[in-house]
Amino acid sequence: MKDCGLISGNELFQKSYVKAHEKEFLKLVENGQNPKALYIGCSDSRVVPDLMTNSAPGDLFVIRNIGNFVAPYKPDEDFHSTASAIEYAVSVLKVKNIIVCGHTHCGAIEAIHNKSCSDDPELVHTNTWLTLGEKAKSQAVLALGPDADRESLFRLTEKLSVVSQIENLLTYPSVKKRVDNGTISIHGWVYDIGSGEIDYYDPESSQFLPISSLK
């Protein structure tokens, strides 16, 4: 592997950040992890959960996938990486919060509208995975109309998808049980890549509002 900045970056990380936080890292080794939240976000390289929340190592248990999607609960013995991580975070790590975080200018959302992956044989798994955003797409088209401005349609779909993924998350018995008894709270976020701002979903008003308003 040629050094494209990652190898030298790790060297700098060891010499600067790790050295400056040596005690904290040793505590993580000795005590294990006790994350504040399960974060379910997109694999998009422009979205960095630790950076955008100013979180330290050990704060977030992170799941990232195309489109920050959550497949509905399916109790079989197939390979379900997102489901496995959800189960582990909830039943083993006992997280108190779950964040489903979408973001602006999401390539997955645009692909769903443009059907840009549907005919590519090299994207067979991606095409199947993107069906998890179809409900949000349909709702956005219904709300704005098929002739709506594309950017407006994309932005609304990104928000509606977060709500849809939360609905899928609640099909997991371990999650639903803990939400019902008040030991887990679920939060829907949309991160603006350009500004760094985060809006949160308010179920009472069915709107996304600035997260800064919660302070």
Residue 55 CB partners (closer than 8 Å, separation 6+) = 36, 49
Catalytic residues, by residue number, are: 42, 44, 46, 103, 106
| pLDDT on residue 1 | 65
Angstrom CA distances, 16 to 8, 10, 30, 54, stand at: 12, 10, 21, 17
Encoding tokens for residue 166? 């939360």
What are the b/e assignments for 49-84, b being 16+ CB within 10 Å?
beebbebeebbbbbbbbbbbbbbebeeeeeeeebbe
Residue 66 CB partners (closer than 8 Å, separation 6+) = 42, 43, 108, 126, 129, 130
Domain residues of the chain, as ranges? 36-214
* CATH number for the domain running over 36-214: 3.40.1050.10
3-state DSSP call for residue 25?
helix
141 pLDDT more than 90? yes
3-state DSSP call for residue 195?
coil
184 pLDDT more than 70? yes
pLDDT 10s digits, 111-135: 999 887 777 889 999 999 999 999 9
Fill in the DSSP letter of residue 76: S
Burial class (CB in 10 A: 0-12, 13-18, 19+), 21: middle
| pLDDT on residue 205 | 95
pLDDT band at 154 (very low <50, low <70, confident <90, very high): very high
pLDDT 10s digits, 18-60: 999 999 999 999 999 999 999 999 999 999 999 999 999 999 9
Instruction: Please tell me the distance from the alpha carbon of residue 59 to that of residue 55, in angstroms, as a whole number.
Output: 6
pLDDT 10s digits, 63-116: 999 999 999 999 998 899 999 999 999 999 999 999 999 999 999 999 999 887
3-state DSSP call for residue 79?
coil
Burial class (CB in 10 A: 0-12, 13-18, 19+), 150: exposed
Instruction: Please tell me the distance from the alpha carbon of residue 198 to that of residue 212, in angstroms, as a whole number.
Output: 8
Mean pLDDT (whole number) for 149-177 = 97
